[in-house]
Structure 1
Amino acid sequence: MKVITARKYGTPDVFRLENWESPSPQKNEIRIKNHNSAVNSGDWRIRKPDPKAVRLFFGILKPRKPVLGISFAGVVDAIGENVTKFQIGDKVFGSAGMQMGTYAEYFCIKESSVMTILPKEISFSEGAALSFGSLTALDFVQKCNIQKNQTMIIYGASSSVGTAAIQIAKHFGAVVTAVCSVGNFSLVQSIGADYVMDYTGFHSEPHNTTYDIVFECVGKSSISSNLKHLKKGGVLVLVGASFKEMFQAAWISLTKGINIKFGPISETIENLNFIAELTRKGEFKVVIDKSFPLEAMSAAHEYVEAGHKKGNVVIDITN
């Protein structure tokens, strides 16, 4: 089988195409013939590594697991003897989490992992894109406990997390202002944003509006600039916070009593099923910017790391 490996940390050109033997599932595992994966900010930060503390979790000198990749969508083609939830031929999608390994034609994963059946209304590419930005956005939105007609401003609204957050926030009744580049205004409006604003407008002096929820998706605006637009008693969400910003946010929360959400998300099957059902019913649109073949992983990572993608970037493994 074909796999893409990163046997050292570094720029996107560290990736190599290799041929491995297909793995065999353990007693509690299934093997998936992978159709699609995706590249997101978490993937390139592990590869780089950024921040350097990534090495503490994934290998000091080089990645302990040379095959990266978190998201997947494919078909079950072998099962372990103790597996009960899935059968050969099932179409599935989900997240491998920090076990990674989805930059491959085949991989094995525990049946208890965050994955579920792919509804017939959802394509493999959409399934692979769903399990990163959507799960991240949903977990943070749930933490905000949105009430109907509350106001929410989303910074980096055309990103993978941002496009998901717009739609999930609207589902729960929020009034959403999307902050993104002018060229992406029509995109964010098409998926439900009530108002749009470019980055210059957000940071301009005349912009003195405050919001119940300030939702920062991309880690490119300062905590102070976000707090300036937060209503008293509101919630600030820092999806892309650095370690330094996490410590700063924790200190502000402790000393000033401001509600700031940050840190790792909780991936759950319940949330994956929730997003899948919204998508199946046509109430959630998976935004896909580009698709790259598995062999073009370096180009895919370079594109995503540049920070200008709209929604998701998918990896096509079957062609």
Structure 2
Amino acid sequence: MKAIAQDSYGSPVVLKLMNIDRPTAGDDDVLVQVHAAGLDQGAIHLMTGMPYLMRLGFGFRAPKGRVRGRELAGRVDAVGKNVTRFKPGDEVFGIGEGSFAEYARAEEGKLAPKPSSITMEQAAAVAVSALAALQAVRDAGRVRPGQRVLIIGAGGGVGTFAVQVAKAFGAHVTGLCSTAKVDLVLSIGADDVIDYTSEDFANGKSRYDVILDIAGNRSLSHLRRALAPHGTLVLCGGEGGGRWLGGMGRTLRAIMLSPFVSQRLRGLLTNERGQDIQRLGELIETGDITPVIDRTFPLSETPAAMRYLTAGHARGKVVIVI
């Protein structure tokens, strides 16, 4: 089968279109014929091997798994003997291993039926990014109806989902984004938008009950100035911060500081729970969330897609079409 694989860490030039063996489904697995695969920041970290700390789990000198990609949508090709929820031919979406390929293996519990109201490309954009948004809003942020919520990075892959999830939970949502993304953020339901190129969200005009920082490049002191005295800050992004810890260093500092201040400072560690992936499918079917796709790229142009996402200008999600 054709797949995008890498044998070393580095820039998008390490990604090569190769012919490799098709994976097989284990007893508890589903083999999916991939129609589309979503890009997320995690794929970039695995490509570059940065920050270095992540290599402890994914391979120190080279990635243990050669094929990138985790978000996917497609049709079930084969199932293991213990799989009961799916059969060949079913349309599914969720999280697999090595989705930048014609076929990918996924655990049964990390897949859900594809919502009939969206395309394969839209479904491929959901699992990793929308799962982070759902758990940031519901679990880490504990967002309640009527709360004022600020979403930093509202126009990106996770941010476009976070805006919609927070609105579904009854919050008054303010999105922070660049000028080019203001109209998009308003179109997906934000009550207010701040253009960070012309206004500082921490200028004292507003204080927020919950702040979700998805962009990941602002200091804790800056973020806390915009947070209500007993508000909650959720650090969703792990960008910047050096080669060894990246954004994890800022998250660790927030966790250590939290017991000594009135504000609640949290990091987000996404749990890939199957019931939450199914919940996302329900929110899509009811119209509460709709995946936002910026661009699609064919499999052979995955390196170009990675460069586009790394540039930081994507409005919503970038998707690879197999």
Task: Compute the TM-score of the two structures, normalised by the length of structure 1.
Answer: 0.94
Q: 2:129 aligns with which of 129, 133, 143?
A: 133
- Give SS of 1:76's match: strand
Alignment correspondent of 1:17: 17
Alignment correspondent of 2:207: 210
The answer to whether structure 1 residue 173 and structure 2 residue 170 are counterparts is yes
Answer whether contact 2:38 2:126 (CA < 8 A) is retained.
Answer: no
Q: Give the superposition deviation at 1:204.
A: 6.7
Task: Please give the alpha-carbon distance, in whole angstroms, between the structure 2 residues aligned to 1:140 and 1:205.
Answer: 21
**Superposed counterparts of 1:89-128, under 5 Å:** 89-96=89-96, 100-112=97-109, 114-128=110-124
Q: 2:304 aligns with which of 291, 299, 313?
A: 299
The answer to whether structure 1 residue 276 and structure 2 residue 281 are counterparts is yes
When structure 1 is superposed on structure 2, of 206-215 and 174-183 the one drifting more is 206-215
Q: Give the superposition deviation at 1:162.
A: 0.8
Task: Please give the alpha-carbon distance, in whole angstroms, between the structure 2 residues aligned to 1:149 and 1:155.
Answer: 19
Task: Please give the alpha-carbon distance, in whole angstroms, between the structure 2 residues aligned to 1:81 and 1:205.
Answer: 55
Task: Please give the alpha-carbon distance, in whole angstroms, between the structure 2 residues aligned to 1:153 and 1:12.
Answer: 33
Identity of aligned residues (%): 35
Q: Give the superposition deviation at 1:115.
A: 0.9
Task: Please give the alpha-carbon distance, in whole angstroms, between the structure 1 residues aligned to 2:203 and 2:72.
Answer: 44
When structure 1 is superposed on structure 2, of 55-64 and 194-203 the one drifting more is 194-203
Task: Please give the alpha-carbon distance, in whole angstroms, between the structure 1 residues aligned to 2:37 and 2:16.
Answer: 17
The answer to whether structure 1 residue 192 and structure 2 residue 197 are counterparts is no
Answer whether contact 1:252 1:258 (CA < 8 A) is retained.
Answer: no
- Give SS of 2:52's match: coil
Task: Compute the TM-score of the two structures, normalised by the length of structure 2.
Answer: 0.93
Alignment correspondent of 1:285: 290
Q: Give the superposition deviation at 1:290.
A: 0.4
Task: Please give the alpha-carbon distance, in whole angstroms, between the structure 2 residues aligned to 1:21 and 1:206.
Answer: 56
Q: Give the superposition deviation at 1:195.
A: 0.7
In structure 1, runs of 5+ residues without a counterpart are none
Answer whether contact 2:255 2:266 (CA < 8 A) is retained.
Answer: no
Paired residues, what number?
313
The answer to whether structure 1 residue 69 and structure 2 residue 69 are counterparts is yes
Q: Give the superposition deviation at 1:207.
A: 4.4
Task: Please give the alpha-carbon distance, in whole angstroms, between the structure 2 residues aligned to 1:127 and 1:103.
Answer: 15
In structure 2, runs of 5+ residues without a counterpart are 239-246
- RMSD over aligned Cα, in angstroms? 1.5
Q: 1:153 aligns with which of 137, 147, 150?
A: 150
Letter of the 1:253 counterpart: S
Task: Please give the alpha-carbon distance, in whole angstroms, between the structure 1 residues aligned to 2:199 and 2:158.
Answer: 19
